[in-house]
A = this chain, B = another copy of it.
Amino acid sequence: MTTEQLVAQIHKKKSFLCIGLDVDLAKIPEHLLQEEDPIFAFNKQIIDATHHLCVAYKPNTAFYEAYGIKGWMALEKTIKYLNTNYPEIFTIADAKRGDIGNTSTMYAKAFFEDLAFDSVTIAPYMGKDSVEPFLAFKNKHTILLALTSNAGAFDYQTKLVDGKELYKQVLETSKAYKGAENLMYVVGATKAEYLSEIRQIIPESFLLVPGVGAQGGNLADVCKFGMSSNVGLLINSSRGIIYAGADLNFADSAAEKALELQQQMQIELEKLS
């Protein structure tokens, strides 16, 4: 999917919501545990109930790997279901991968070719030659971790390197990577005040913003400081949506929560025009 197609979907749906499919068998409605593939059964119902309210889904691979082969089969079924039934949806493999050149190419093949995701999240620690192999894939997007939403973000990411915070160094240096037009960035919503400085470095790049909801960020603040002329934001909510209900109507409960966020996003989008 191209960035232009993503932006068009945002305007059409009046939403820049991304729903995180972080499926934990200990948290899904009990009646689903009878299904042959409870994880996929859960995802399918969530997707069917919310796809008109969001523009992206983001399965975090950890939650699938934890269940071994069965988990990977559920991940494969989920992405196939999305690509077949809702091809207008932008798909994100939240995998936080990163390795040396030829190995990163293997990861890129895994997520862009074998699983056919539109994008994958990548950790920047190993530098340029660990990221560029992902950028070589046309109309695929590499979402680089810049500033994360956890407490540990302050351990290294906000430390000064040559007088500038490490996460800003990541933004600055990655702009010059070959294929940089395919870059997006993870920026945690718990630090909305940082967004205006980030926009000075990367005025137009899309930002994937976790931490609205369970991790506690404020949607209006994120939009005020982070929205670009082409929107430039995907705001993720995982647990706040998918675990909104635990009974037979869990998917409707999820849709209600998604609708609340979509309606707030519609107001923010109207400010743009």
| Chain A interface size, under 10 / 10 to 19 / 20 to 34 / 35 or more | 35 or more
Question: With A and B bound together, what is the CA distance between A169 and B156 in angstroms?
Answer: 8
Q: Does A110 touch B at the CB level, under 8 Å?
A: yes
Residues of B within 8 A of A157 (CB): 125-127
Contact B156 A127 (CB under 8 A): yes
A73 to chain B: closest residue by CB: B69
A 150-171 binary contact with B (CB < 8 Å = 1; else 0): 1111111101111000100110
Which of the 9-residue segments A60-68, A217-225, A253-261 touches chain B?
Answer: A60-68
Interfacial chain B residues near A114, Cβ < 8 Å? 65-68
CB of A268 closer than 8 Å to a CB of B: no
The answer to whether A65 and B123 touch across the interface, beta carbons within 8 angstroms, is: no
Q: Evaluate contact between B155 and A110: CB separation under 8 angstroms.
A: no
Cβ contacts A84-115/B at 8 Å (1 or 0 each): 00000000000011111101101101110011
Q: Which of A73, A130, A160, A169 has its CB near the most chain B CB atoms (within 10 A)?
A: A130
Q: Which residues from B are CB-within-8-Å of A96?
A: 97-99, 123, 126
